[in-house]
Structure 1
Amino acid sequence: MSNPQAEGVRAQRCMVASGHPLAAQAALQCLREGGSAVDAALAADAILGVVEPMATSIGGDVLAMVVAPDGEVSSYNGTGRAPAALDPALLDALPGQRIPERHPYSCTTPGVVRGWHDLHQRHGRLPWPRLLAPAIALARDGFAVAPVAAREWALFDRVLHADPVCAALYRAGRPPAAGERFANPGLARTLQAIASDGPDAFYLGEPARAAAQACQAHGGVLAAGDFAEHRGDFRAPVSTRFRGLEVFECPPNTHGVAILHALDALEPQALAADDPGAVLQTVRAMGEAMRHASQTVADPAGNTVCTVVVDADGLAITLMSSIFKRFGSGIAVPDCGFVLQNRGFGFAGPGHINSAAPRKRPYHTVVPGAAKRDGRFHAGFGVVGGLMQPQGQLQLLVRLAAWQQPLQAALDAPRWRLESATALAIEHGMPEAVTRALRAAGYTDPVGAGELGGRSDFGGAQAVLRAADGSLLGASDKRKDGIALGA
């Protein structure tokens, strides 16, 4: 007999899984009004940028995986590029000639707003202003800060103090507690301009000019011209087969290829669910895949949020946006209500395929995923949390496809996280036999590692799956504030 709690939420027509209840509710309302899955995901993502400002905003990037009702799969890369004025010689005086984590040089052009519009132009049904209206209202009127968001806000309060504008915007030194109301009228005004005049209000308007001035005031080189030049692109995804599924990931500059590399290594293995050795094989496959990705992934030309939506017509989208590290660069745009992302930290040192260069996209951790079975949509999924993203996705896919675990149970299960080639964090609740096998194999406990108050971040997943009977199952990770809703 099935366990409904372990399965997740079941619905017949449509499903939403998102990292915040307000985002999920707004997405479901869009679907009820006849909007597409893309409309719903965009409305949710705009809200996430309001209610989880440490994770995402219009100052960040967006990527998406879209599966059409006929099974056609496309990915969208809305990641921004390094400033045109980022001469590699500027980095000569920096340690290792690399951009530090929250240095002004880490600011890359935001891709979210253009990405929203590009996706809406191709797949949207509701009017553009309708999608942003709920986020505008929340930013203007305020919202109750959710528990996980409040905890992360407090943990990363230290990031908010370097820039006076950021300190004032996000209440440095007095972060809001869970349940406390927070409003962002500057962001409401910026979103209203975007709703009224489209993406040009952002890329050619005052937000671009103010962002450039803010970055340059701190010594950075991001310019208004970088905003004007920004474009995203639809691209064919990369894929592989695993346990009867065809798994799709975004191509480089993201490291989605690491997931596929690991799945290829695991496909011929037995991977018995009750064998601690199967977990060890998975860890080793992921470690090798991440090492390979770090050497090969670059622009061929953190912290994150995720929403997965399937509509009544069968259109499915996994949408993920991010400002990278929590609160991004820590540089806020005056009167506009957002911080600039710090994706430039993803560039490698000189002489590497991923070394910094003008107008180049950095190595990107955001990896929205999807899977098909028998040529049709089977699942959409994403795991937030920087380098936890490919690791969490791999663990989720093994649990779902190899071990046939129920959806919510697979999301709730304890995880491991590689912090380096030999340091492995193991989440509380992992079976003792598995922990012993991993430690016996030489993986050490990274005591004090990770950003979350000295502990590792095991991510937060959102997933929607098409069950064998045609119904939809949705699940939202208990590690975040989210929820799954269906109709």
Structure 2
Amino acid sequence: MTTTRSHRQPVPPAVAAGHPATAEAGLRALAAGGTAADAAVAAVLASAATESIFTGLGGGGFAIWFDAATRAVTCLDFFCAVPGLDGDVTAGDMVPTDVAFGAVPVTYSIGGASVAVPGVPAGCGEVHRRWGALPWARVVEPATLLARTGVVLPAQHAQTLIGCGPALSVGDGEAVYRPRGRYLTAGERLYHPGLETAMTELAEDGPSIFYTGRLAKLMVDAVRANGGALGPADLAAYRVNELPLREARLARRHVLARHDLNALIATIGTLPADLADLPRPSRAVAVARALADPHPQRLGDTTNVAAVDAHGNACVITTTLGLGAGVWLPGLGVHLNSMLGEAELITADLAPGARMSSMMCPLIVLDGTGELVLAAGSAGASRIRTALIHTLIATLIDDLDMTAAIARPRFHVVGHEVHAEAGVPDDELDALTAAGFPVTRWDHLSHYFGGASAIGRPGAAADPRRGGAVALL
């Protein structure tokens, strides 16, 4: 049975993100009188300095916005686009690179041919233009300061670096992630030489500098020198798109998000209407059946920011670099994406200028009167859907506070096999086994199971699996 505690709780002004310094950058925007959009953008830009293992200015993403005054929800697509509009260059071969996914080696493709048109600068600019209140330069300022000083690498990020290092440390990444001839470890400083200059130019000239300005030319030259096809026409033609929203009901609330490659909203719609009334073991079986996932299991270097301001507006932004192409803007600390090397994102209809697909899915949950219940998103590629559904069930049905909800052990379904974190109750695992699901038990909580961050009536939290942090106004 659900209770009414969450209905009485206000949504706190806060920022939830994947690194303490990322969250603090967003909080500075809120404290200066900024909106949730200002805070989310400030945090995303800061993540280029704090969470470059997962994201950066050379990547892409999605944003969702809840307007408290009108109760309108808007979703923006600034994911990566397919290059080739110039038509004057044919991409060369991508470079296969093996990285470790736990104990399992996975081959990725990087290099210049893997670089798609980045969307993060344009997306941040559009979110700020539509819903921001602070001057652009002030929103960029925290990222500039963090780029100047560097940040402490959390233990969870250092663990990810061990597996992803062979791709991340290519080219200029060697000086960033292996500055002393070995990978950075927890507590050491992550610093990107030249990123302060890139942030300063972004603050002064705006996002267009990446598409028609000085940095656009550097990007084209760097990609083509490494065998890619990205050209000036690709960058000049890039636009942020507004997407239609899909809706599903869960525990009498309305969950709104875009249609993603993993079909989060459709999956919620397949859950039994009486899910809240089922015993936990029976519920686990219903959830596992809904989560059965045919997609390849990829590492998914992704991060998420959620922000709510004092007026009740909410903004969630999820961004990624893929694994990173090993191609950097020379001397500027900006790593470019490897989206064309992500095989599961390549569909038959892709052509130059087309927007690529993604599993990222920031979402908004409203009550029956259209008021905000929570705003959430997650990292984790094919585990994004898993992390968000577990979080929604824990908050909306089990009435856990947000910290407990996000920290609660999860299970994820690969094909028909259940992977369960340590702490998933034995009676649930027994029910899954009896229902025909082979169960693999993990002995710890792992970043494999996603990286959710959320703010809502149950409070604010960011995923301990990925070193997440919350900053409250």
Q: TM-score range by the shorter chain?
A: 0.7 to 0.9
| Alpha-carbon distance change, 476 to 431 in structure 1, aligned in 2, over 3 angstroms | same
Partner of residue 378, structure 2: 383
Alignment partner of 1:433 out of 427, 431, 436? 427
Partner of residue 443, structure 1: 437
Shift of 1:11: 7.6
Runs of 4+ in 1 over 6 A off after TM superposition: 89-95
* Residue 362 (structure 1) aligned with residue 356 (structure 2): yes
Partner of residue 303, structure 2: 305
- Aligned partners of 2:49, 2:41: CA distance in 1, in Å? 13
Shift of 1:219: 2.0
Instruction: Give the secondary structure class of the aligned counterpart of 1:457.
Output: helix
Aligned residue type for 1:464: I
Instruction: Give the conservation status (yes or no) of the 8 Å contact 2:49–2:150.
Output: no
Shift of 1:240: 1.8
- Aligned partners of 1:141, 1:456: CA distance in 2, in Å? 27
- Aligned partners of 2:314, 2:275: CA distance in 1, in Å? 31
- Aligned partners of 2:108, 2:404: CA distance in 1, in Å? 38
Instruction: Give the secondary structure class of the aligned counterpart of 1:321.
Output: strand
Alignment partner of 1:110 out of 107, 118, 122? 118
Deviation sequence 1:143-179 (CA, Å, 0-9, x none): 2222222222233211135x43332343275222222
Alignment partner of 1:137 out of 145, 148, 151? 145
| Alpha-carbon distance change, 129 to 92 in structure 1, aligned in 2, over 3 angstroms | closer
Please, what is the CA RMSD of the aligned residues?
3.0
Instruction: Give the conservation status (yes or no) of the 8 Å contact 1:208–1:227.
Output: yes
Shift of 1:187: 1.3
Shift of 1:310: 1.0
Partner of residue 472, structure 2: 486
Instruction: Give the secondary structure class of the aligned counterpart of 2:117.
Output: coil
| Alpha-carbon distance change, 136 to 261 in structure 1, aligned in 2, over 3 angstroms | same
Deviation sequence 1:409-434 (CA, Å, 0-9, x none): 11111111223x12332111111122
Q: Superposition pairs for residues 69-468 of structure 1, below 5 Å? A: 69=68, 70-84=70-84, 101-102=109-110, 104-161=112-169, 163-171=170-178, 173-251=181-259, 254-255=260-261, 258-272=263-277, 274-287=279-292, 290-291=293-294, 302-325=300-323, 328-346=324-342, 354-373=348-367, 374-419=369-414, 421-444=415-438, 457-466=448-457
| Alpha-carbon distance change, 480 to 349 in structure 1, aligned in 2, over 3 angstroms | closer
TM-score, normalised to structure 1, is 0.84
Deviation sequence 1:194-251 (CA, Å, 0-9, x none): 1001112121233222222222233221223212211112233211222211101123
| Alpha-carbon distance change, 26 to 357 in structure 1, aligned in 2, over 3 angstroms | same
Instruction: Give the conservation status (yes or no) of the 8 Å contact 2:11–2:455.
Output: no
Instruction: Give the secondary structure class of the aligned counterpart of 1:479.
Output: helix
Partner of residue 3, structure 1: none
Aligned length: 447
| Alpha-carbon distance change, 214 to 126 in structure 1, aligned in 2, over 3 angstroms | same
- Aligned partners of 1:279, 1:237: CA distance in 2, in Å? 28
Instruction: Give the secondary structure class of the aligned counterpart of 2:282.
Output: helix
- Aligned partners of 1:212, 1:92: CA distance in 2, in Å? 15
Shift of 1:103: 5.2
Partner of residue 297, structure 1: none
Instruction: Give the secondary structure class of the aligned counterpart of 2:142.
Output: helix
* Residue 474 (structure 1) aligned with residue 460 (structure 2): yes
Deviation sequence 1:92-135 (CA, Å, 0-9, x none): 9999xxx9633543311110001111111111111101111111
| Alpha-carbon distance change, 347 to 229 in structure 1, aligned in 2, over 3 angstroms | farther
Between 1:238-247 and 1:107-116, the stretch displaced more is 238-247
TM-score, normalised to structure 2, is 0.86
| Alpha-carbon distance change, 369 to 178 in structure 1, aligned in 2, over 3 angstroms | same
Q: Any unmatched runs of 5+ in structure 1?
A: 1-5, 295-301, 468-472
Instruction: Give the secondary structure class of the aligned counterpart of 1:164.
Output: coil
Instruction: Give the conservation status (yes or no) of the 8 Å contact 2:64–2:316.
Output: yes
Between 1:116-125 and 1:406-415, the stretch displaced more is 406-415
| Alpha-carbon distance change, 274 to 149 in structure 1, aligned in 2, over 3 angstroms | same
Instruction: Give the secondary structure class of the aligned counterpart of 2:239.
Output: coil
Instruction: Give the secondary structure class of the aligned counterpart of 2:248.
Output: strand
Instruction: Give the conservation status (yes or no) of the 8 Å contact 2:92–2:113.
Output: no
Shift of 1:386: 0.9
Instruction: Give the conservation status (yes or no) of the 8 Å contact 1:107–1:329.
Output: yes
| Percent identity for Structure 1 against Structure 2 | 27
Shift of 1:314: 1.3
Q: Superposition pairs for residues 12-27 of structure 1, below 5 Å? A: 14-27=13-26
* Residue 38 (structure 1) aligned with residue 37 (structure 2): yes
Between 1:456-465 and 1:373-382, the stretch displaced more is 456-465
| Alpha-carbon distance change, 274 to 367 in structure 1, aligned in 2, over 3 angstroms | same
Aligned residue type for 2:35: S
Instruction: Give the secondary structure class of the aligned counterpart of 1:26.
Output: helix
Instruction: Give the conservation status (yes or no) of the 8 Å contact 1:85–1:221.
Output: no
Instruction: Give the conservation status (yes or no) of the 8 Å contact 2:94–2:111.
Output: no
